[in-house]
Amino acid sequence: MKKGLSVSLAFAATLSLAAPMAVSASGYGAAGCGLGAVVFGSKPGIIQVLAATTNGTFGSQTFGITTGTSECGGGAVKVQAEQKVYAYNNFGQLQKEIAQGRGERLQTLAYLMGCSAKSVDAFSAVAQKNYAQIFNEKTTDSDIMLERIRTAAQADASLASQCSAL
């Protein structure tokens, strides 16, 4: 048991030494985000070995990155949830603005889709061009609308590379 713990600590120490220094600038220590960051913080030194061991033991880093919890910032699940809530609350206005190819809510949706400022107009144009496919049924709801906008944006090679949360 002690030998296994020693091997784990040695492995965690090696990993923490190999971690890039830029990680420390993100608000957590060399061990990265996860339960270890919550429990041990960003204090430099040997404490980061314990933080890395905690992250590895509980698998909290992967979970935190995916969900945006455990000091890991916004994760994919959190971003998609924000998109869904926004689309639901602004469905009627978004439908009008997509038809027009411009508007404040459509611009905000582009930002929620991770589009850069210079690609917002292209996002709006792609949505407008695909209006008939996005709203092709009376039963289109905000979730269907969002998925069809995402599909249209992903199909545009230039836009897909400029929007990180499609």
Note whether 130 and 152 are within 8 A (CB): yes
Exposed, middle or buried, 19 (CB in 10 Å: 0-12/13-18/19+)? middle
Average pLDDT over residues 91-105: 96
How many angstroms separate the CA atoms of 27 and 45, rounded?
15
First to last CA, the chain: 46
CA distance 154 to 78: 20
The residues facing 163 across adjacent strands are: 115
pLDDT of 89 strictly over 50: yes
Residue 16's pLDDT is what? 46
Q: How many residues are present in the chain?
A: 166
Domain boundaries, the chain: 2-67, 76-162
The values of phi and psi at residue 14, to 5°, are -60, -45
Residue predicted with more confidence, 40 or 62: 40
For the ranges 51-55, 64-68, 110-114, 136-140, the lowest mean pLDDT is seen at 64-68
Q: Tens digit of pLDDT for each residue in 63-88?
A: 665 555 555 665 566 778 889 999 99
**Rounded to the nearest 5°, which phi and psi values hold at 163?**
-120, 115
Residue 106, pLDDT > 90, answer: yes
CA distance 150 to 142: 12
Give the residue ranges of DSSP H helices in the chain: 2-18, 35-40, 47-58, 60-67, 76-89, 91-100, 104-112, 120-129, 131-134, 142-155, 157-162
pLDDT band for position 19 (cuts 50, 70, 90): very low
